[in-house]
Amino acid sequence: MKIRNGFVSNSSSSSFIVIGHKKYNVPDYTKRDYIIGEKGMLEFNWDIEDHFDFESKVNFATIQALCMENDDYIGDIKDVIKKHTNCRSVFNEICLDGMERDYMGYIDHASSASEDKNIEMFKSKDKLERFLCCSDSLIHTDNDNY
């Protein structure tokens, strides 16, 4: 049984990211287009999961950049994808409201950029590249309801 004393939050999500250092593990998109949002997890909420796959990390970073309304970060994400997947072009199909694009993305508010959380990958291009490409980078979603 969990006992809470004092401050009680209105959200019980407790997600975080890990920026790795191991070898890169990215899909090969030679002579194809890469569409952000087409594959991987798009909703990062209270489920207890670890996401190591490239596509989910790209989607997570893109949703965070959209939350911050930062087109430079979107450009940086696209640059990393182009550099490491050998794709022809990169298109973002994620939106936050479900009206403008094909795929709606969501990060629980307590873990999103809207509350300055999980944005460390944008501190430098090296960190973004390692977050997206390293095999030991991950997004951990969780909650404190147990």
- In this structure, is residue 76 part of a structural domain? yes
Residue 9 banded pLDDT, cuts 50, 70, 90: very low
The token duo for 129 is 């590249």
Given a contact cutoff of 8 angstroms between Cβ atoms, the answer to whether 105 and 50 are in contact is no
Asked if pLDDT for residue 5 goes beyond 90, the answer is no
- In this structure, is residue 13 part of a structural domain? no
- In this structure, is residue 132 part of a structural domain? yes
Q: For the whole model, what pTM was predicted?
A: 0.87
Domain that holds residue 109: 19-141
In the chain, the largest separation of any two C-alpha atoms, in whole Å, equals 57
If one counts the domains in the chain, the total is 1
What integer pLDDT is reported at residue 4 of this predicted model? Answer: 36
DSSP string, 15-67: -EEE---S-B-----TTS-EEETSSS--EESSS-EEE-SHHHHHHHHHHHHHH
- In this structure, is residue 89 part of a structural domain? yes
- In this structure, is residue 14 part of a structural domain? no
Given a contact cutoff of 8 angstroms between Cβ atoms, the answer to whether 85 and 133 are in contact is no
pLDDT digits (tens, 9 = 90+) for 99-137: 667 789 988 877 777 667 788 999 999 999 999 999 999
pLDDT digits (tens, 9 = 90+) for 15-47: 889 999 999 999 999 999 999 999 999 999 888
- In this structure, is residue 4 part of a structural domain? no
Asked if pLDDT for residue 1 goes beyond 50, the answer is no
What integer pLDDT is reported at residue 32 of this predicted model? Answer: 96
- In this structure, is residue 10 part of a structural domain? no
- In this structure, is residue 11 part of a structural domain? no
20 alpha-carbon distance from chain centroid: 14
Given a contact cutoff of 8 angstroms between Cβ atoms, the answer to whether 102 and 72 are in contact is no
pLDDT digits (tens, 9 = 90+) for 65-109: 999 999 999 999 999 999 999 999 999 999 987 666 778 998 887
Given a contact cutoff of 8 angstroms between Cβ atoms, the answer to whether 68 and 113 are in contact is yes
Count of all residues that appear for the chain in the document: 146
Given a contact cutoff of 8 angstroms between Cβ atoms, the answer to whether 137 and 129 are in contact is no
Residue 3 or residue 84, greater confidence: 84
